[in-house]
Amino acid sequence: MQQDNQPQNENKQQLPAIVINNQYIKDFSLEIPYAPEIFKEIKKNPEVSVDVNVDVKSLEDNYFNVDLLFSINGDAESKKFFIIELTYSAVVQLNVPQEHVEPVLMIEIPRMLFPFARQIITTSLTEAGLPPFMLNPIDFALLYQAKKQSAHGKN
């Protein structure tokens, strides 16, 4: 009887838990407002502030669009050295239990996208003639928890 069950099990194809169908740059901007004069004025490394956010939109069935949003500001002395904004996105399909959907979308998918977004930011800044800059890894679980606590605090 097990032999009869084998073909049925083989016909049931196991879907992967996460499928990234597409990754893309949704929006990108790099400004050096005081160029070229600012390059002469730089005496030390700029102070850099990094703001990161994750946004999720349901598309259809178990398909979602996940946006990883970066806003990075570099200040040198009393002037704005650079401003970079990037929205790096992915269309993903999830085949996970419902209770895991939100954490996967808000933690795991951004974790998977981060290296690609970091490469875009690093390469763009270097190509723009700015000092090398490497984003440190981001704890998306902590970011997710903070967002959930903030949402609960508003209610």
Q: Are 86 and 69 in contact (CB under 8 A)?
A: yes
d(CA 42, CA 136): 23
Helix 140-154 × helix 109-127 angle, to 10°: 110
pLDDT in tens, 102-114: 999 999 999 999 9
State the pLDDT at residue 6: 47
Task: Report the alpha-carbon angle 122-125-131, nearest 5.
Answer: 95
pLDDT in tens, 15-53: 889 999 999 999 999 999 998 888 887 878 889 999 999
Whether residue 78 is predicted with pLDDT greater than 90 in this model: the reply is no
d(CA 131, CA 122): 10
State the pLDDT at residue 93: 96
